[in-house]
Structure formats: structure tokens, C-alpha cells
Homo-oligomer: A and B are copies of this chain.
């Protein structure tokens, strides 16, 4: 009866993409660990980019810098 908890930045996944992630993460636990899917939970937490930091900066800042540098928009 595993629990998967997934944290991703808000805005990077559509409802359809989240469905696919839930289905495939469940499959991994069934196929690799032989778990019963009836009791496999997947919880997705979508985190605002102001609330997620890496190397001391918020994701909002990191993505703005990257866009300025590459002209490529995130996500």
C-alpha cells in the first residue's frame, strides 16, 4: 500500500498530463514491487514558483534569468 507524493512547479502539467503521471507511477509500483493497485495512492502538490527555491533563489527568479539569457520561455 505505497503512497507517492509528487511536488512539481505550478503550471507545468495539464490535467491530462497529471492523469498520465498518476497512471504510470502506479504501474511502476505494480510492476517493480508487485503491489496491489487498489491501495496505491499518488498525491500531486503543485507549488507556486515563488514558493520553490533552488540554489538560494526562487523558481520565479531562476526562470526569469533563464528566459532573459536564452529567450526560451519556461516551463
Chain B contacts for A35, CB-based, 8 A = 8, 12
Which single member of B8, B24, B26, B38 contacts A2 (CB below 8 Å)? B8
Residues of A19-61 at the interface with B, using a CB-CB cut-off of 8 Å, are 19-29, 32-35, 37-47, 50-59, 61
| Bound form: Cα–Cα A32–B6 in Å | 13
Residues of A within 8 A of B (CB): 1-9, 12-13, 15, 17-29, 32-35, 37-47, 50-59, 61, 75
Chain B contacts for A24, CB-based, 8 A = 28, 32
Closest to A18 in B: B50
| Bound form: Cα–Cα A24–B25 in Å | 8
Contact B43 A52 (CB under 8 A): yes
